[in-house]
Amino acid sequence: MNHFEYRNGSLFAEDMRVTALAKEYGTPLYIYSAATIKRHFKAFDSAFDGLDHMTCYSVKANSNLSVLKMLAEQGAGMDIVSGGELYRALKVGVAPEKIVYSGVGKRSSEIRQALEAGILLFNVESVAELLKINEIAKEMDTIAKVSFRVNPDVDPQTHPYISTGMQKNKFGLDIQHSLEAYKMTADLDHVEAVGMDCHIGSQLTSIDPFLEALEKLLDFYKELKGLGIDIQYLDLGGGLGISYDEEEPPHPNEFGRALTYMLKDVPLKVILEPGRVIVGNAGIMVTEVLYTKSNPTKNFLIVDGAMNDLVRPSLYGSYHRIAEVEQNGRNTEEYDVVGPICESSDFLARERELPRVVDGERLVVYSAGAYGFTMSSNYNSRPRACELMVDGDTVSVARKRETYEDLIENEL
Ligand SMILES: *Cc1c(COP(=O)(O)O)cnc(C)c1O
């Protein structure tokens, strides 16, 4: 699936044998499939062909320049959450008028940077931020376009750490405060309210919470219209889930059909901010078994990929499918797959049935393309992994493996 397939018992990434790549580039190793990224983007974007829309890929899911460049070439806009992500988006040639800027804590310097670049709009998450943007736009003698991120108070039925659209979450403004913010904007000279935004969470496996949120937003839109506040953009955020294990998330077409139906008579340009659904299953992480060991209750596979490389299992208890790179046909055993880091939370999988593996064999960790490398760190002074982009039978190094010199480069 997704261009990661076995041929005669050997795992291939498109037309490249993974074992050969691991030998040449070392492990832990991220491998992305260009064909998969392009296919996912096209499938998502075309699901909304019936609507005037713009697909702004969420850069934080995977911000490697090779990935961003490929998506920009497919026509993607970008959803950014920092000045660093703006820098990356501009670097690969994304038109500023296709960039939207989200996030609760934009710094003054980042707001200035975005205004200088001429981005499409800011998704504003508080009145204090609105006033800050107004002040900076005034200094720069310009007018900033804003949407308010409305927190619709719906339960996305996902992991609490990645649910964002409930009252208890730090994100956005509830509808009452949003209303006040729109009214306030009308009295400020350097901000203009052009849209409405929401992003209720990530890894959603049903479209119902999206539709529930959309209904609330549409009611609010009508209320605003009645008050003479007219907007042009409706941003529905990202959050569509993927299959890590047994989940059966809706296909983008189902999502597209439902939104198209609900929005067919609404004269707004729709913005979508998918991240995980584009890149999640377009990447794998390859790791080598360093040691095996057993105690009376457990078998451990100690591998060279750790929580600093892929933190999702440690952070959210996430499931990632794991298998052998070279199928060995042995009987299975129950293992904890753990990394070398000095934390008991350093694991990639717990109590997992895997064919018996010996030292030196390699494992593939699937669905590592989103929130994998972008969440990596140097904890335990481990240089970050290498990232490869495979396109058919060509391989390019999307990011070199870090060296020890890289680790200390900024230290005095
Ligand atoms: C993280 C994020 C997204 C992307 O979420 P996915 O679940 O990866 O699709 C989109 N919009 C905002 C504001 C985000 O914070």
Query: What DSSP line would sit under 127-142, residue for residue?
Result: HHHHHHHHHHHHHTT-
User: According to the model, what pLDDT value does residue 161 have?
Assistant: 78
Distance 80 CA to ligand 1 centre (A): 9
Residues 31-46 have a mean pLDDT of 98
Residue 238 shares a structural domain with residue 273: yes
Among 155-164, 170-179, 194-203, the minimum mean pLDDT is found in: 155-164
326 & 263 share domain: no
Residues 248, 366, single domain; the answer is no
- The predicted-structure confidence for 117-132, as pLDDT tens digits, reads as follows 999 999 999 999 999 9
Residues 287 and 303 in one domain: yes
Q: How confident is the model at residue 168 (pLDDT cuts 50, 70, 90)?
A: confident
Q: Give the CATH number of the domain where residue 27 resides.
A: 2.40.37.10
Percent of the chain with pLDDT over 70: 100
Element (H, E) at 148: strand 144-149
pTM here? Answer: 0.97
- Domain carrying residue 339: 4-32+280-408
Q: Is the CB of 55 under 6 A from ligand 1?
A: no
CATH number of domain containing 247: 3.20.20.10
Among 229, 246, 277, the domain-final residue is 277
- Domain-terminating residue out of 277, 297, 324: 277
Angle, helix 252-263 to helix 34-46, in steps of 10 degrees: 20
Cα(177)–Cα(194) distance, integer angstroms: 17
Predicted confidence band of residue 1 (pLDDT cuts 50, 70, 90)? low
Q: 165 falls in which pLDDT band (50, 70, 90)?
A: confident
> 189, exposed or middle or buried, with CB in 10 Å at 0-12, 13-18, 19+?
exposed
Q: Report the alpha-carbon distance of residue 164 to residue 144 in Å, rounded.
A: 25
Residues 101 and 139 in one domain: yes
183 and 257 assigned to the same domain: yes
Mean pLDDT, residues 60-75? 98
CA dist., res. 50 & res. 258, Å (int): 11
Any atom of ligand 1 within 6 Å of the Cβ of 165 = no
Mean of all residue pLDDT scores within the chain: 96
**Cα 99 to ligand 1 centroid, rounded to whole Å:** 14
DSSP-based three-state secondary structure for 385: coil
231 touches 279 (CB < 8 A): no
20 and 76 fall within a common domain: no
Ligand 1 atom nearest the C-alpha of 239 is 7
Q: Which atom of ligand 1 sits closest to the CA of residue 274?
A: 9
Mean per-residue pLDDT, 94-102: 98
Q: Are residues 242 and 257 in the same domain?
A: yes
What is the pLDDT at residue 169? 84
pLDDT over threshold 90, residue 158: no
- Which residue has a Cα nearest atom 3 of ligand 1? 238
Two tokens, residue 3: 């261009």
The verdict on the CB of residue 275 being under 6 Å from ligand 1 is yes
For residues 100 and 246, membership in a common domain is answered with yes
Amino acid in the structure at residue 187: D
Higher pLDDT, 199 or 168: 199
Testing ligand 1's pocket by substitution, the residue of 121, 273, 278 carrying the most ligand atoms inside 8 A of its CB is 273
Q: Are 54 and 232 in contact (CB under 8 A)?
A: no
342 shares a domain with 253? no
Query: Residue 378 phi/psi, 5° resolution?
Result: -105, 20
Could you give the CA distance from residue 192 to residue 221 in angstroms, rounded to a whole number? Answer: 16
Is the pLDDT assigned to residue 228 strictly greater than 60? yes
Same domain, 22 and 87: no
The rounded Å distance from CA 321 to ligand 1 centre is: 22
- Of 56, 198, 342, 386, the active-site residue reads 342
pLDDT score for 167: 78
Backbone torsion region of residue 93, taken as left when φ is above 0, otherwise alpha when ψ lies between -120 and 50, otherwise beta: left
Do 225 and 286 share a structural domain? no
Strand partners, 31: 284, 388
List Cβ neighbours of 340 (8 Å cut-off, separation of 6 or more). 290, 302, 304, 306, 346, 380, 382
Query: Average pLDDT, stretch 243-266?
Result: 95
342 is catalytic: yes
pLDDT at 392 over 70: yes
Q: Which residue has the tokens 């460049």?
A: 69
Looking at 229, 252, 277, which one is the last position of a domain? 277
Q: How many distinct structural domains can be found in the chain?
A: 2
Burial class (CB in 10 A: 0-12, 13-18, 19+), 411: exposed
> Separation of 239 CA from ligand 1 center, angstroms?
6
Burial of 187 (0-12, 13-18, 19+ CB in 10 A): exposed
